[in-house]
Structure 1
Amino acid sequence: MPLLDKMLALAMAAQVLLTLGLLVWMGRERVPRVVRGEIRVADIAVEKDAYPLKARLLSNSFDNQFQLPLLFFVGALTALLFGLLDWFTVGLAWLFVFLRYVHAAIHVTTNRVYRRFTAYVAGLAVLALFWLWLVLRLLLAPSV
């Protein structure tokens, strides 16, 4: 496997690791409370409000990993499929994933909304540039 393919695959794996890490952390916050009877299942069947703040923050951050990252995964797979990888694309991929970690870290710790929003917008800008670069490479690529 070419180095650039590996580097992009590792960026994708790092994003998956973030998502799974949040899922495990969220489970460790939520499940024991239900098992101990602190929270009734009926109270969480539809809404998350019965959970303490930390569990809700983790849940929101986990849910957020299925928004912008979905567009990242589609773009990364498109780049791999069409052989459009270069160091710039891989760099943007890693920068996007790094910003997702920053966003999640803010989300589940201080949850300072303006900082979290800044990290989100920065990630969105990197993702938009990633896609713009990908589309340009697709348009300019020689026909097969």
Structure 2
Amino acid sequence: MSNTLVQPVLALMVLTLLVWLVMYVRRIGAMRALRIPAQALSTPDKRSLLPEAVNRPSNNLVNLFEMPVLFYALCLLLMVGNQVDALYVQLAWAYVGLRALHSLIQCTANIVIWRFVAYLLSSLVLAAMIIRCAMHNF
């Protein structure tokens, strides 16, 4: 079994953990500064009590459990099927890089058009990987 996709998979997992950490650092800091008790944020709809910038990492974390799930599944499928080649590795790193860019944009400036472009490009890379795999296996 090839393990050349292990590094990009782990890199995306590390990115997810970093966003999770940033989310809690910002959220707890804001709750302390604004004196908001934890119970006041008991449901997601109550996050409006926090400034928008504080909620950005949380929104991004949710996003990191949407399309990336397909990436993880595809990479496992490719590794188990011993189908990994240099193009898949390059595409995987491109996907991870674009997802990192998307996270950076969403967690900081949150300029929607930049975020959209990063998201769209990452989705196109992932689609290319999936289509290539499907063509090889059908």
Normalising by structure 2, what TM-score? 0.91
Instruction: Give 1:55 deviation, angstroms.
Output: 1.6
Partner Cα separation in structure 2 for residue 11 and residue 95 of structure 1: 9
1:29 and 2:15 correspond: no
Conservation of the 8 A alpha-carbon contact between 2:101 and 2:118: yes
SS at match of 2:48: coil
1:110 is matched with which residue? 109
Do the aligned residues in 2 keep the contact of 1:75 with 1:131 (CA within 8 Å)?
Answer: yes
Gaps of 5+ in 2: none
Moved more, 104-113 or 41-50: 41-50
Match of 2:95 in 1: 96
The TM-score with structure 1 as length reference comes to 0.87
**What amino acid is aligned across from residue 100 of structure 1 in structure 2?**
R
Q: Could you tell me the percent identity over the aligned residues?
A: 28
| RMSD (CA atoms) | 1.6
Alignment partner of 1:15 is 2:16: no
How much has 1:138 moved relative to structure 2?
1.9
| Unaligned residue ranges in structure 1 (runs of 5+) | 140-144
State the structure with more CA Rg. 1
Do the aligned partners of 1:84 and 1:137 also contact (CA within 8 Å) in 2?
no
Structure 1: which 4+ aligned runs deviate by more than 3 Å? 32-37
Tell me what 1:142 maps to: none
